[in-house]
Amino acid sequence: MSRRTEFQASIVAVMARLGGSHLTREARERTAAKFSTLMYEAGYTHLASPADISGKHLRAYVAARQAESPGVRTLQNELAHLRSVLKSVGKQAVTNAAELSNEALGISGGSRLGTKTAMSSEDFLAITERAERQNRPGMAALLRLERHLGLRGNEAIHAREDTLRRWERELQADGRINVLAGTKGGRPRTVDVSDRASASAAIASALAVCAEQGGFLVIRANGSPAGGLKQARRIYHSWAHRNGIQPHSARYAFARDQLDGYLSRGYSSREALMAVSQDLGHGDGRGRWVKSVYMR
């Protein structure tokens, strides 16, 4: 094992003790890999553990990453990962230093609103048809689950035949589904589906794909099963990137349908936004945030 790899492993070991959702842990590990690589490329080969990291290393990291042109929010998140590691090893003086604040490092500002907008019906139809033409029915099935059940991509990827069958029964019984696997922070939730016909069709489509692909929605281009959930996510995201789409925008379209559905049932605007927030897995206290992000 090289010195750089050992340094990265020491950072990851500290990160592992911080907890968090599966996706949060993966994001931290990506930051550890970037940080260790850039530090050793910059000549800081003496670094052996998080305790060796100082302010100059954080400044060098930000400068190197800015040259790669990531978004401000991305850099802010990566610095948050590194600061949490430094706090965990007792280096609060570094994390609290005014000269190492986001503003001082030139990465302040940024918006949590993001850049996504709801996927139009025309775009949704076009991309699902394209996936079918490319002989990638699993990609189309995942998009339909995001669009008509409001699932995150990770939640859709976790859906196996037994889960899809359960959702089918739940939807027929009372128009709700219980999402258990792949949720953010491991928090299960219930989704009260407004467009039940489209949701049923999406589930039926996914079940048909599972039957054809050995029980999986995501397989490799050569037809072999993905090597675990992490690779399945990579396959899905890579396919979406190559085709110029943001799958999460399908969930934005679902949110708009949900809002219309609640309003038609007599909910006030405030209550409807609260209900949509719960359906999306954000809790009932983020209605205004859902309005500013999902309804733009």
Would you place residue 1 in the very low, low, confident or very high pLDDT band (cuts 50, 70, 90)? Answer: confident
Mean pLDDT across the chain, nearest whole number?
A: 90
One-letter amino acid for residue 292 of the chain = S
- Under a CB-based contact definition with an 8 Å cutoff, are residues 219 and 213 in contact? yes
Residue 116 lies in a domain: no
Domain housing 67: 3-100
Is the same domain home to 93 and 134? Answer: no
Percent of the chain exceeding pLDDT 70 equals 97
Is the same domain home to 195 and 283? Answer: yes
Helix (H) / strand (E) containing 127: helix 121-133
Is the same domain home to 87 and 196? Answer: no
CA 71 from centre of chain = 16
Residue 109 lies in a domain: no
Is the same domain home to 284 and 150? Answer: yes
Number of domains in the chain: 2
Tracing tokens 């802010």 back to the chain, one arrives at: 76
The mean pLDDT value for 80-86 works out to 94
pLDDT at 232 over 60: yes
Rounded to whole angstroms, the Cα distance separating 227 from 140 reads 20
Rounded to whole angstroms, the Cα distance separating 108 from 45 reads 29
Tracing tokens 């990531």 back to the chain, one arrives at: 70
Would you place residue 112 in the very low, low, confident or very high pLDDT band (cuts 50, 70, 90)? Answer: low
> pLDDT: is 293 or 165 the higher one?
165
Q: Give residue-wise pLDDT tens across range 8-60.
A: 999 999 999 988 777 788 889 999 999 999 999 999 999 999 999 999 999 99
Is the same domain home to 143 and 283? Answer: yes
What is the token pair recorded at 188? 């299960």
* 58-72, 100-114, 227-241: range with lowest mean pLDDT: 100-114
- CATH code: domain of residue 222: 1.10.443
Q: What is the pLDDT of residue 115?
A: 56
pLDDT at 213 over 80: yes
Q: What is the pLDDT of residue 51?
A: 94
Residue 108 lies in a domain: no
> pLDDT: is 114 or 14 the higher one?
14
